[in-house]
Structure 1
Amino acid sequence: MKIIVIGAVAGGTSAAAKARRNNDSAEIIIYEKDQDISYSGCGLPYYLGGKVGSIQELTPRSPDFFKSKYNIDIHIRHEVLKIDIPTKTLVIKNLDSGAVFNDTYDKLILSTGAQAFVPPIKGIELENVFFLRNVQNALKIKAFMDNHHPKTAVVVGTGFIGFEVMENLEACGIKVTLIERAGKLTPNLDEDMSLYLEKRLSKRKIPIFKNANVVEATSQGVILENGTLIPGEMIIVATGVKPNVTLAREAGLLLGVTGAIRVDERMMTIDTDIYACGDCIETWSAVTKRPHYRPLGSTANKTGRICGDNITGGNVVYPGNLSTGIFKLFDISIGSTGLSEAEARSQGYDIEICHNIKPDKPGYYGGQEMLIKAIADRSTQKLLGVQIIGYDGVDKRLDVFVTLITYGATVDEIFNLDLGYAPPFSTTKDPVHYTGMILDNALNKDRKLMTAADLKKN
């Protein structure tokens, strides 16, 4: 069997490695148009801030590594130009020599990833304007910082990457201004949680512009739609990504409602000999079972492994995901999983919502405020989603809630969790327990919760 993989970052290399573990005799080839493979994209912001001392720490594996360990041939700087499904033929260009040649496959895996969304901003091609999507992007940003020593920067977009870049530029002594086109910060939080986060950021005197549309980039900064110039010697555009599906679309493969490649639960496309994984595919919510697009490194690795297993005779299925995400912003941790309040309402759920503010550990051990917002379905009494903003232990609580949602726990079961307790880690009744108690009281003991809107009315 001859397996060809297109793309050699998280999904593609995971798929190839799993295929090799299942099949010693298969010929496995990966074509990658970039010059870097199997890198940690999530670590790139921390390279800019100096927390990662060398770019080599984020690119520990080379084509030679995969050849010696897995007998997998990786050809970097090779772009696949066309897939001809009837003949199972690929047209490939060597980007260094310019040579174009054909190759054939028995099984094909698409792991073409995502590309930065480029908004219609005049001057976006200027040398002081950057995206951060891959290793070469990071090297260009770092070179600009080293050569020009900027004192100010503008970050456009407040998703994970935008916030992480902001933190790391600030760590280098660069004053950052945040610009967000939407009316709230970070798309994975509801408006009330976003306002809470913004209040925390205001203590650090971070300039934030919301409902702000950038129309032009200049060497002095960015110009908003209303004509305001926001100063910044360097500009980072972090406005999200879109799936890289040109090859798949031109080959006639089916795209989903989100514009990403549609796959089944085994990662198979509409062609039984072509699978896909990573940031180029459309996945689905484990709560609603409806399709969505959630490009994350963790998901890419999982779907890649499933691809590699199934393409070599396995039968592993993907259950969907909860869009779980977490990021650090200075000393604050922000996490979310499952449906937001806005998503739950838009999809017709009758929901109960609680906001629970408790210390992450006892006050005498340095405990600090942790805010947990939980959304539950009144009908089934199951959790639908959770958002957390705090300091220590946000990751622990988030992962507990992920597990609860995954296995369909009802709110009355949460208090009985036998969670680990000691003063350095938590209070005797953990914030997770309190969340269950509040929702159980609201749903089963006729103790109606009062919302901020209710207080305003009174």
Structure 2
Amino acid sequence: MNQEKQKIVIVGGVAGGASVAARARRLAEDAEIIMLERGPDVSFANCGLPYHVGGEIEDRDALAVQTPAKLKALLNLDVRTGSEVVNVQPAEKSVTVRTLEGEYELSYDKLVLAPGASPLRPPLAGIDDARVLTLRNLQDMDRLIDHVAQLDHVTIIGAGFIGLEVAEQLVHIGKKVTVVELQEQVLPLLDGEMTKGIEETMLANGVELILGDGIASFDPQANELVVKLNSGKEVRTELALLSIGVRPESELAANAGLELGPRGHIRVNDYMQTSDANIYAVGDVIESANPLSADAAGSDAYNAVPLGGPANRQGRTAADHIVLGEKAQAYPGTIGTAIVRVFDQAAGITGLSEKRLSQLGVDFKSVLVHADHHAGYYPGAERLTVKIMWDPESGRLLGGEAYGKEGVDKRLDVLATALRGKLTIDDLTHLELAYAPPFGSAKDPVNIAGFAAGNVMAGHVKTLASIPTDESVQIVDVRPAAMAAARPVANAINIPMVELRSRLGELDVNRPVATICVIGKTSYMAARVLSQNGFDAASIMGGVTQAL
């Protein structure tokens, strides 16, 4: 261990900066550790902000994780709130701090930048109106609560994770909510077919969804705010909440001459060091190597993941390297794991989506399966959808997504661990996951996804993501007749699976066949029967549950 006493200055608190300070103190009791925070709160649970807006978290103080007094008493930290760093002088190893009393210079041995990211506010007409809010800190939350208490209707701009959390919470307290999203789906990080259940439950709970349309401007009126969209449509509301993403607050780094990525994030190495070895950076302001895209694309791909979990681990890595030097473990990169609850549904992602892999030009395969979240014969089983992407050469898992009412977090956690461990689709089939009827099945949905992927890799089945529109393809609905009649598939021939072998003569062996069922399992069996009888057959993934 490096025994030399160090002066560590940390710019910013919350997850990343506070993690650096706490870990550094545990490793070095004699280090001088100074935290500088421009706001009044040095450590708060920003992921919990929407839930206090809706009253699920009743106590506001529960969100203020630590106060300067507590940090002083517990960790002997010198925490200075209301202290904004306005300049960094790398050559002099000092920073300029601005307070209400004036400015002063503060020297450092090691500097850690953790200023975070701020909500995007594009330069649109009317956007500076007091009724156009964002949600980043406790003060933003208080302002939002004060406003909505007097209002009936709120428009949320952006259908990402935070936007949907706030939408849910506002509905819980009796507000009418409109959500506007530029993309054609909610939760743009996920693949479109994985968000249908979320959209349906939002509509069922009275949320108005406007998808595929962006914000052109805001027109403030005396008693309302008119949100004008690119399509020409107007939304008349009382308050707008911007939730369209964040930008890294990297101006200090830029002015100090530190290397930045193409989107303005501070670029760091595996130990959170910037291009200046004495300056570290952690949290939402940085980009670091993506262990998935870098390997898959064969390039030094970087990503920025503004989440609390990675920020905490990055802070630990930075503190370890500051104190322990070469004995510190390298940060392995961020794969990106996120989940959201929206009313009675949950959806999430880990690793790379199909969309992202396509953007990167990476060769991949994917499957989508439906299964019960625990044993189907045990009361309360709920449908769970899992999608996985993998490298067709090595079989290594590249990404996973899930949605449903129950068990989504458990499967995402398993897939995230598999990604970190560089497991393959074959490994997924052999995972021994906790099983008892109230908790899971003998074949967990993750196992089933592995089985389905293995069938594709082995050439046992060809899959289709949607119902073919090519008229030369014979679409065979293998559901029972009554089920097929109740929810028919256009242009399909209904041949129930139990009758398929005896009715092969009704199909043209010289034309391709696409089979479909409820969730994709029976159609796989049908495709196997057909392919072994000379047909060019493929199964439609997810069945009518996904396709219709």
Same fold (TM over 0.5): yes
The one-letter code sitting in structure 1 at the alignment partner of 2:78 is D
Paired with 2:324 and 2:306, the residues of 1 have a C-alpha distance of 26
The alpha carbon displacement at 1:445 in A equals 4.6
The alpha carbon displacement at 1:233 in A equals 1.4
TM-score by length of 2: 0.80
Paired with 1:138 and 1:436, the residues of 2 have a C-alpha distance of 43
The alpha carbon displacement at 1:288 in A equals 2.0
2:42 equivalent to 1:31 = no
> The residue matched to 1:449 in structure 2 has which SS?
strand
Paired with 1:331 and 1:456, the residues of 2 have a C-alpha distance of 37
Q: 1:382 aligns with which of 389, 393, 396?
A: 396
The one-letter code sitting in structure 2 at the alignment partner of 1:428 is A
The one-letter code sitting in structure 2 at the alignment partner of 1:412 is D
The alpha carbon displacement at 1:378 in A equals 0.7
Q: Residue deviations 1:47-96, cap 9 Å, x none? A: 000011122100031101111111110100111111111111211111x3
The one-letter code sitting in structure 2 at the alignment partner of 1:3 is I
**Residue 406 (structure 1) aligns with:** 420
Paired with 1:261 and 1:384, the residues of 2 have a C-alpha distance of 25
2:463 equivalent to 1:449 = yes
The alpha carbon displacement at 1:298 in A equals 0.6
* Identity within the alignment, %: 35
1:67-216 equivalence runs, <5 A: 67-94=72-99, 96-97=100-101, 99-146=102-149, 148=150, 150-216=151-217
**Residue 438 (structure 1) aligns with:** 452
Q: 1:306 aligns with which of 293, 317, 323?
A: 317
> The residue matched to 1:288 in structure 2 has which SS?
helix
The alpha carbon displacement at 1:444 in A equals 1.8
1:272-311 equivalence runs, <5 A: 272-289=277-294, 290-311=301-322
**Which structure 1 residue ranges, 5 or more long, are not aligned?**
none
Which segment is superposed worse, 357-366 or 41-50? 357-366
The one-letter code sitting in structure 1 at the alignment partner of 2:62 is E
Paired with 1:124 and 1:104, the residues of 2 have a C-alpha distance of 39
- C-alpha contact 2:216 2:230 (8 A) present in aligned 1: yes
Q: Which has the higher contact order (CA 8 A, sep 6+)?
A: 1
- C-alpha contact 1:221 1:234 (8 A) present in aligned 2: no
2:32 equivalent to 1:19 = no
- C-alpha contact 1:258 1:293 (8 A) present in aligned 2: no
Paired with 1:331 and 1:169, the residues of 2 have a C-alpha distance of 15
> The residue matched to 2:164 in structure 1 has which SS?
helix
Q: Residue deviations 1:175-223, cap 9 Å, x none? A: 1011001222212111222344323433334211112122223333412
**Residue 506 (structure 2) aligns with:** none
> The residue matched to 2:462 in structure 1 has which SS?
coil
Paired with 2:27 and 2:382, the residues of 1 have a C-alpha distance of 48
- C-alpha contact 2:182 2:213 (8 A) present in aligned 1: yes
Paired with 2:27 and 2:163, the residues of 1 have a C-alpha distance of 39
Q: 1:266 aligns with which of 268, 271, 277?
A: 271
> The residue matched to 2:293 in structure 1 has which SS?
coil
2:366 equivalent to 1:353 = yes
The alpha carbon displacement at 1:415 in A equals 1.8
Q: 1:42 aligns with which of 47, 69, 72?
A: 47
Paired with 2:66 and 2:196, the residues of 1 have a C-alpha distance of 41
> The residue matched to 1:248 in structure 2 has which SS?
helix
- Structure showing greater radius of gyration is 2
TM-score by length of 1: 0.96
Paired with 2:28 and 2:183, the residues of 1 have a C-alpha distance of 49
> The residue matched to 1:312 in structure 2 has which SS?
helix
Which segment is superposed worse, 223-232 or 160-169? 223-232
